[in-house]
Amino acid sequence: MTATDPALTALAQGWSALSLLHGRIETHLERALQSGHGLSVREYSLLDVLSRQHDGEGGHLQMKQVADAVVLSQSATTRLVTRLEDRGLLARYLCPTDRRGIYTDVSATGLALLKQARPTNNRALREALDSAMAEPDLAPLAQAVTHLTAPTAI
């Protein structure tokens, strides 16, 4: 393969389009969540992931699992958890079966804020995807994202 190989060029163009779509969606979500609820995309994502925990077996996530779910490093996730805990949106506690483990739960205040922010997030995501569908380079990717989600999720 050479640097001008059509397969490499197509692959690079595809990656560029995917990066562009991600950036546009994230920017649109960020503006909507910040202006409407004082939340960043990462903060919203963390609250959303943690709100889905349950008391059953495997229902609480370890910090590495949380970091993977919000696509951050463990240290960045820990800092984010601390910021949201300082705002009263999260609470940490020791694992009842393993005193070395620390779990994080969304507080009642955090759940209320998440409930208010969820429609904003869903609306902004739909707007960003609809906008991308109007662009020939982004439309196939936006359609793929739309087909990956359940009809009631957005």
Tell whether 53 is covered by a domain. yes
Tell whether 94 is covered by a domain. yes
127 touches 28 (CB < 8 A):
yes
Whose structure tokens read 């922010």?
117
pLDDT in tens, 82-120: 999 999 999 988 877 777 778 899 999 999 999 999 999
Crossing angle of helices 63-70 and 41-51, rounded to 10°? 130
At 61, which CATH number? Answer: 1.10.10.10
pLDDT in tens, 17-64: 999 999 999 999 999 999 999 999 999 999 999 999 887 777 788 888
Tell whether 93 is covered by a domain. yes
Whose structure tokens read 């793929």?
144
Whole-model pTM? Answer: 0.85
Tell whether 96 is covered by a domain. yes
Of the listed ranges 43-52, 100-109, 132-141, 143-152, the one predicted with least confidence: 143-152
- For residues 92 and 101, give the distance between their C-alpha atoms in angstroms, rounded to a whole number: 10
